[in-house]
Amino acid sequence: MTTPKITLYTNHRCPWAHRAHIALKELGLNYEEVIIDLTKPREPWYLDINPRGLVPSITYGEHIITESAVVAQFLADAHPSHLLPPSNSENGALQRARIAFFVDTFFSKVQPHFQTSLRASTTEERDAAAEALVAAIKSELEPQLPEGSDGKGPFFGGSEKLTLAEVLTGSFLLRILSFHRHGLLSEKLPSLLEDTPRFKRWAEATVQQDSVNYIWDEKVSADAIKAKLAALAKK
């Protein structure tokens, strides 16, 4: 079956839009890219595509799909691969449910502490946020990840290849593992993560994948966050 023409409306500094890049690259799909400047009001032509003005959006043939998780899920469903098992079997449905729960846990229990660190105004506040982040990883994510000594792959469920769990979290892992070098996260975070070996193995394996890091520019992304935080502080 011929894949319809895909156009991705994105911004490389947006971790949510980054999810679509990971999915497209991992699935080996060709696409055209249109960069949306998120620092300016959206132009009317883009609001016709996505009235919310957010990225990512894709056009898939004559269809428009918006919202990052929806885009990634759609692509994984439309192009069956290692990212997701079929849902028409009990085991496949169970694995999909486990991935969905893991991703929900990541964003409801762990990611808020990352956001707290970004808003921190003192070293003490950043250190406290890092400790809370690692505590949440240890209690909520660590039990859901494979051990390094069990002979299984490093990705969710012991997979040797990325799954939808990594597609939806990879861009955020890049930031969690690097922003301490830019004063946005505690300098203590790398040593604290030594207490979560399953998470550390999983996260490091994920960010090393070309599909996850091929559009990533650490300094540009960190500088963009700093500029945004500085602008908010002036309001």
Architecture of domain 88-231: Up-down Bundle (1.20)
**What is the chain's alpha carbon radius of gyration, rounded to the nearest angstrom?**
18
Are residues 30 and 2 in contact, defined by beta-carbon separation less than 8 angstroms?
A: no
The confidence score (pLDDT) of residue 228 equals: 87
Provide the mean pLDDT of the chain.
96
Closest C-alpha among 233, 131, 116 to residue 184: 116
- Per residue in 117-165, pLDDT (tens digit) is 999 999 999 999 999 999 999 999 999 998 876 778 999 999 999 999 9
Question: Which listed CATH number (3.30.420.40, 3.40.30.10, 3.40.50.920, 3.40.50.2020) goes with 4-76?
Answer: 3.40.30.10
The confidence score (pLDDT) of residue 1 equals: 63
Above 90 in pLDDT, residue 190? yes
The amino acid sitting at 171 is S
Q: Parse the chain into domains and list their residue ranges.
A: 4-76, 88-231
The confidence score (pLDDT) of residue 155 equals: 97
- Per residue in 22-48, pLDDT (tens digit) is 999 999 999 999 999 999 999 999 999
Helix (H) or strand (E) holding 179: none
The confidence score (pLDDT) of residue 184 equals: 96
Helix (H) or strand (E) holding 60: strand 57-60
Is the torsion defined by CA of 96, 97, 99, 104 positive or negative? Answer: positive
